Amino acid sequence: MTEYDVINGRAPRLDAPAKATGRAVYVDDIKLPGMLYGALLQSPLAHAKILNIDISKARKLPGVKFVATAEHAGMVPYGVSPARYDENIFARDRVRYVGDEVAAVAAVDLETALEAVSLIDVDYEELPAVFTVEAAMAEGAPQLHDKYPRNICAEVHQEFGNVEEAFSQCDLIRTDTFINKRQDGAFLEPNGVVADFDKHGYLTLYSSTQVPHYVMRILSMVLRIPVGKVRVVKPYVGGGFGPKAGANTMELAASLLSIKTGKPVKMNYTREQVFLFSRARHQFKHTLTTGVKKDGTLMALANECYLEGGAYASFGIATVYYAGSLLAAPYRLPNMKYDGYRIYTNRPACGAQRGHGGVAARAALEQQLDFIAEELGMDPVEFRLKNSMEAGDITCNEFNTSSFGMKECIEAVRDGSGWNEKKGNMPEGRGIGMACGFFVSGAGYPIYRSDTAHSTVVIKLSEDGGTAHVLTGSAEIGQGSDTTMAMIAAEALGVPLDCIRVSSGDTDYSVDLGAYSSRQTLMTGHATKRAAEDLKRQVLEVLSERLKTPVDQMDIKKGYIVFKGETPDFSGLRTIYAKEHRGFMDNPDRDEPLTFKEAARIAYLARGSMVGTGSYKPEELGGKFKGAAVGTSPAYGPSAQVVEVTVDKGTGKVTIDRMTDAHDCGFAINRTSVEGQMQGSLSMGLGEAMFEEVKFDEKGRILNANLSEYKIATALDMPNVDTIIVESNEPNGPFGAKEVGEGAIMPTIPAILNAVYDAVGVKIQELPLTPERVFMAIQKKEKGGK
């Protein structure tokens, strides 16, 4: 077991003191001189033609500096994936959902901007709208996008092995349907921007984003400014979870307004606008047919899924693939068929949210597997253990599991929760349930087709003082990536953590694809490690020349130079250093080993600026079939969970009493951060299972676009979680590390569903488990239904 100096510990996060004292700057905290305020005009109708837009009254309002519509913005289409660029900054001919952006105003203050927005007259001709998958696919339904008949945004058909033949050899086949509901990201910080187009024609956009790089490219493409003249800066972000992983209209509109006015423009979403924007979890309807042998061997799975996608594609083209591909693990499954359809509807567009297309699929399958286990008379834990994959196994859709602690996770939660004692012995009204999960550690391919490195990192050694500055385009969005990179850099360079400074989230620093698909620990981590090793090598090369010692006989550890052989006489170097530092109070003692501080100074004197660079790009991953790219990843992480619930039969209210969670993160760079991500994932999963649902009226307007009626877990709803970190040492990960940010949510919903079934024997295959839904299901069962 390797001993590490910095990583694998519990270093407090670098950004915590600023956040604890109110000094951390988020986008709405930014003020620039001469700054204007922007506001958006959004469609009140779900589907309508735009006949005319009259901005004359708005323009005349004193204090208004610019009113922008499609006429000014142009119609360069964009979106998340180049395969589905189906959005424009502003609608010109048609609006497709309540909230679709039509215009934007920049004015001297917010009040004036809002008043101007109210003065813009839009003549709409209302069109029939479709709000459900069924309605959208029906014969004669209104089409949202001419290019996509029957409103099918994307469809996927894949088969691996031979499912029909496998079914013919199964002893038990079950079909179940499962529906989750549209969620909202519900991050505490609403999206916001400050756009600043300066006098040199450079655009700087400060934005609460997960993906500065992608936003920069979209800005460049849509506003037609060269990439090198666009800079996206991510201040501290108050949560992202997926909906902030793509460029949004506000970013483009504010930039456009800044270009037109020559002044910085600030714009924020209200909480209601966050809901209207959505780009959050789709509603999935999964029909799973699963076949097993009577000894519990999993043989085949046929998965049909319909995604209600909203008015634009956003991440949806990836989502519809993930909803199939992620079921290929963590169990050995030789035969899998997937038919997925993502359907346009006149509602806010759905995108990627923690766990992406895997969450509903996982809930559906893990619930069904419990039903199957019950029919076979098998314990659910035994069933999972029997079918679990191991490191080195390859899925039917060609995912390579280079490390895979699935069995360890299952055993950990089984033992940690007391499953064997409790299962079958729970008191009346209480239940225990378990489930497993599986996720990627970073998408194998960038969102746009490219040979680009996925992550590049620059580390600049200070010319004196022995500190290093990590410059990375990666996005610290609250998950702790800055601290992770600092720890990796410190470990790889060989210095204490407090010698490392991190600057991140700025496209000027380096290319990094950003915080999505749980990629940064592995990918940015690799690039950081390589940059640090590059820097170490450069420093050691200088020492090697000076001390006549081969580089491979030296190392840097805990801020000192260590010599594998005999320690050479370095007094000459110490003298040089001392001469330059007369009056300094922290010079090394006479008998102290050679310090990194001294070596770094000597290296600077010899070579000038010392810069280490590192980059990471996954190797070619995955199969050659259509859609093979989606779901590929350099590493995969399994997890398992046991949940205990109490069901109040009289009201249907479910209380989550206890959660035990085991997650294979490969290697925990920061144990506290890993636990925090597990606990946070579980609370989001709990919310989705129990309370969260975006509700609409018959005109496509959101009924609960606020945090009172869209209910995320409060401190009184969330129990304590026994977190167990499993470390399987991923060979493809830096120091063996892989993801934790999204995978941990995967087992949560089904573990809760399975626990509720254990408690009261009702099968509920639709979320959320509101008291009403549970109560009605219990009533139905007691009256003789199933």
Partner 1 sequence: MKKMICLTINGKEYELAVAPNMTLADLLREELLLTGTKKGCELGECGSCTVIMDGRAVNSCLVLAVQASGKDITTVEGLETEEGLHPLQKKFIENGAIQCGFCTSGMLLSAKTLLDKNPKPTEHEIRTAISGNLCRCTGYQKIVESIKDVSEGR
Partner 2 sequence: MLLPKFEFHEPATVEEACRMISELGGKMKILAGGTDLFVNMKKKLLAPDHLVSVDRIESLAQLDASNGSLRIGSCVKAAVIAESDAVKSAFPALHEGASKLGSPLIRNLATVGGNLVSARPAADFPPPLMVYNAKLVLKSSQGERSVPLTDFIHAPGQTALLPNELLAAVLLERPAAHSGSAYIKLGVRQALEISLVNVAALLTLDPSNGVVTGARVVMGSVGPTPLLSVSAEKALLGEKPSDALFSAAGEAAASDSKPIDDFRASAEYKRAMVRELTRRALASAFDRVQKQ
What's the closest the beta carbon of residue 238 comes to partner 1, in angstroms? 3
CB of 740 to partner 2, least distance (A): 26
| Spatial distance between the Cα atoms of 538 and 523, rounded to a whole number of angstroms | 23
247, two tokens: 């460029």
**736: which DSSP letter?**
G
- Pick from partner 1, partner 2, none: which does 703 bind, CB < 5 to 8 A by kind? partner 2
Q: Does 29 bind partner 1 (CB under 8 A)?
A: yes
Q: Which of 613, 672, 704, 765: binder of partner 1 (CB under 8 A)?
A: 672
Which of left, alpha, beta for 466 (phi over 0: left; psi -120 to 50: alpha)?
left
Residues 134 and 391: their CA atoms lie apart, in Å, by 41
Residue 764's binding partner out of partner 2, partner 1, none, with CB under 5 to 8 Å set by partner kind: none
| Spatial distance between the Cα atoms of 684 and 686, rounded to a whole number of angstroms | 5
Contacted entry of partner 1, partner 2, none for residue 349, CB cut-off 5 to 8 Å set by kind = none
Residue 270 is a binding residue for partner 1 (CB under 8 A): yes
Which residues between 538 and 577 bind partner 1 (CB under 8 A)? none
User: Shortest gap between Cβ of 637 and partner 1 (angstroms)?
Assistant: 18
Structure tokens belonging to residue 4: 């590490």
Find the DSSP H helices in 249-337.
Answer: 249-261, 271-277, 316-325
- Selection from partner 2, partner 1, none that 480 binds (CB < 5 to 8 A by kind) is partner 1
Let me know: does 554 contact 562? Beta carbons within 8 Å. yes
Q: How many residues bind partner 1 (CB under 8 A)?
A: 55
Residues 610, 759: Cα–Cα separation, whole Å: 63
Rounded to a whole number of angstroms, the minimum distance from the CB of residue 639 to partner 1 is: 15
- Considering only 38, 190, 348, 525, the residue that binds partner 1 (CB under 8 A) is 190
Q: Which does 51 bind (CB under 5 to 8 A by kind): partner 2, partner 1, none?
A: none
Pick one of partner 2, partner 1, none as the site partner of residue 21 (Cβ within 5 to 8 A by kind).
partner 1
| Surface-to-core class of residue 584, CB atoms within 10 Å of its CB (0-12 exposed, 13-18 middle, 19+ buried) | exposed
Cis preceding linkage at 734, omega within 30: no
What does 682 bind: partner 1, partner 2, none (CB cut-off 5 to 8 Å by kind)?
A: partner 1
Tell me which of partner 1, partner 2, none is bound by residue 651, counting a contact when its beta carbon lies within the kind-specific cut-off of 5 to 8 angstroms. partner 2
Amino acid at 699: K
Q: What does 75 interact with, of partner 1, partner 2, none (CB < 5 to 8 A by kind)?
A: none
Q: With contact defined as beta carbons under 8 Å apart, do 244 and 189 qualify?
A: no
Cis peptide before 750 (omega within 30 of 0): no
Candidates 45-53, 163-171, 528-536, 717-725; binding stretch for partner 1 (CB under 8 A): 717-725
E runs forming strands in 449-558: 455-461, 468-472, 500-504, 554-557
Partner whose binding site includes residue 114, from partner 2, partner 1, none (CB under 5 to 8 Å by kind): partner 2
Question: Does residue number 28 form part of the binding site for partner 1 (CB under 8 A)?
Answer: yes
- Residue 236 CB, nearest approach to partner 1 (Å): 6
CA nearest to 681, candidates 162, 62, 242 = 242
Of residues 451-490, which lie at the interface with partner 1 (CB under 8 A)?
Answer: 477-480
315 near partner 1 (CB under 8 A)? no
675 vs 730, beta carbon nearer partner 1 = 675
Report what 516 binds from partner 2, partner 1, none; CB cut-off 5-8 Å by kind.
none
Query: Which among partner 2, partner 1, none contacts residue 394 (Cβ within 5 to 8 A by kind)?
Result: none
Pick the binder of partner 1 from 189, 739, 742, 758 (CB under 8 A).
189
Helix (H, G, I), strand (E, B) or coil at 165: helix
Instruction: Note whether 47 and 346 are within 8 A (CB).
Output: yes
Q: Is 33 in the site for partner 1 (CB under 8 A)?
A: no
List Cβ<8 Å contacts ≥24 apart for 674-679.
674/723, 674/725, 674/740, 675/723, 675/725, 676/480, 677/479, 677/480, 677/740, 677/741, 677/744, 678/721, 678/723, 678/740, 678/744, 679/721, 679/723
- The stretch among 19-27, 371-379, 496-504, 567-575 that binds partner 1 (CB under 8 A) is 19-27
Non-local (6+) Cβ contacts of 192 within 8 A are 26, 27, 28, 207, 208, 250, 266, 267, 268, 269
CB of 45 to partner 1, least distance (A): 25
CB of 129 to partner 2, least distance (A): 19
Tokens of 354: 């923690």
Indicate the residue among 308 and 742 with the shorter CB distance to partner 2. 308
- Is 510 within 8 Å of 523 (Cβ atoms)? no
Among 2, 21, 52, 609, binds partner 1 (CB under 8 A): 21
Strand partners, 407: none
In angstroms, the Cα distances linking 575 to 568, 581, 594, 689, 710 are 15, 10, 11, 66, 67
- Give the Å distances, CA to CA, from 454 to 245, 451, 519: 15, 9, 9
15 versus 506: smaller Cβ distance to partner 1: 15
Separation CA 297–CA 304 (nearest Å): 22
Distance CA 250, CA 270 (A): 12
Picked from partner 1, partner 2, none, the partner binding residue 585 (CB below 5 to 8 A depending on kind) is none
Select the binding partner of residue 478 from partner 1, partner 2, none (C-beta < 5 to 8 A, by kind): partner 1
Q: Which does 684 bind (CB under 5 to 8 A by kind): partner 1, partner 2, none?
A: partner 1
Query: In the stretch 685-714, what mask flags binding to partner 1 with x, by CB under 8 A?
Result: ---------------------xxx---xxx
- CB closer to partner 2 out of 171 and 648: 648
Q: Tell me if 515 sits within 8 A of 532, measured CB to CB.
A: no
Label residue 51 exposed, middle or buried (CB < 10 Å: 0-12, 13-18, 19+). exposed
Footprint (CB under 8 A) of partner 1, residues 235-254: 236-239, 241
Q: Closer to partner 2 by CB, 52 or 708: give it.
A: 708
Nearer to partner 2, 168 or 270 (CB): 270
Query: Which residues contact partner 2 (rule: CB under 8 A)?
Result: 110-111, 114, 270, 650-651, 653, 690-691, 695, 697, 703-704, 707-709, 711, 713-717, 770-772, 775-776, 779
Give the residue, chosen from 100, 251, 491, 675, that forms a contact with partner 1 under the rule CB under 8 A. 675
Among 51, 188, 227, 394, binds partner 1 (CB under 8 A): 188
Does 15 participate in binding partner 1 (rule CB under 8 A)? yes
Q: Does 655 sit near partner 1 (CB under 8 A)?
A: no
Q: Is 187 in the site for partner 1 (CB under 8 A)?
A: yes
139 or 698, CB closer to partner 2? Answer: 698
Minimum Å gap between C-beta 4 and partner 1 is 19
241 binds, among partner 2, partner 1, none (CB under 5 to 8 A by kind): partner 1
Rounded to whole angstroms, what are the CA distances from 745 to 315, 529, 752, 771?
A: 19, 28, 12, 22
Pick 137 or 497: Cβ nearer partner 1: 497
Q: Would you count residue 721 as binding partner 1 (CB under 8 A)?
A: yes
Q: Could you tell me which residues come within 8 angstroms of residue 506 by beta carbon, excluding any fewer than 6 positions away?
A: 212, 231, 232, 233, 234, 473
Does residue 27 belong to the site contacting partner 1 (CB under 8 A)?
Answer: no
Print burial letters for 405-430: b (CB count within 10 Å at least 16), e (below 16).
Answer: bbbbbbbbbbebbebeebbeebeeeb
Backbone angles phi, psi at 221, to 5 degrees: -65, -50
Min CB(76)–partner 1 separation in Å: 32
Binding site for partner 1 (CB under 8 A): 10, 12-13, 15-26, 28-29, 31, 186-190, 236-239, 241, 270-271, 477-480, 672-673, 675-676, 679-684, 706-708, 712-716, 718, 720-721
